[in-house]
Structure 1
Amino acid sequence: MDPNEERRSMKAQKAIFDSLHFVTDSMQGIQERCVCGRRLVRERAPAEVFDYLPGKRFFTCKEYKDDGMHYRQPWVCAVEEELHIMKTRLEECEEHKSVVVKLEVENQELKAEVEKLIARVSELEYAA
């Protein structure tokens, strides 16, 4: 085989593998669109398929082909991932909320200190 042709072939294969990696890496939570840009539909597996539970639900690309470049994600996995993402966001919000409460308390303390300093300055002005 010609070395240039072999190099082109290897680059093409690498591009395909990179695309597959990007697709699988992007399947987090409930997606609204496939990487191809098509809308995802909810579907149920037919009862005749016996390799998994009949009636299993999926989020599937309208143009789904089993080439790895389109989404077909089990509904349960997508919901579990979405719940995990939401739980992580909630924990982050709770952390931010605790920081805000601490800052509000500190702000009130600083306001009280400023009021004391203003009163002290006015006393010193009248004394002078």
Structure 2
Amino acid sequence: MDPNEERRSMKALKAHFDTLHFVTDSMQGIQERCACGQRLVRERAPAEVFDYLPGKRFFTCKEYKAAVGLCSRGRARFHENEAGKCEEYKSLVVKLEVENQELKAEVEKLLARVSQLEYAHKGGG
């Protein structure tokens, strides 16, 4: 396939999928609740703030900054827990490696014993 034709085809497919994404987003409607669970407040910007778009609409939450703080504290707590789990996993891995070495040594002893028994059984001893 010609590289230019392939590029045009990919761009057309991307545009199609973008359109599908926009349609599905529009079907969901405008979000009514913030991530913190509070209702969103619909506001309009004063003309002096957005002089190129007077009366621009936007949505705010009174508890947004508090919710962001809670999320960051929750994230920090999550990472602390993960670090603790990581140390726990490391210690378990070390224990398993030691146990694995012990089992390998035991298997080698058993194989040597089997060899001795086979030799004795064949009449060599």
Where on the TM-score scale, by shorter chain, does this alignment land: which range?
0.3 to 0.5
Structure number with the higher helix fraction is 2
Higher relative contact order (CA 8 A, sep 6+): 1
Is the radius of gyration larger for structure 1 or structure 2?
A: 2
TM-score (norm 2): 0.47
- Structure 1 length-normalised TM: 0.46
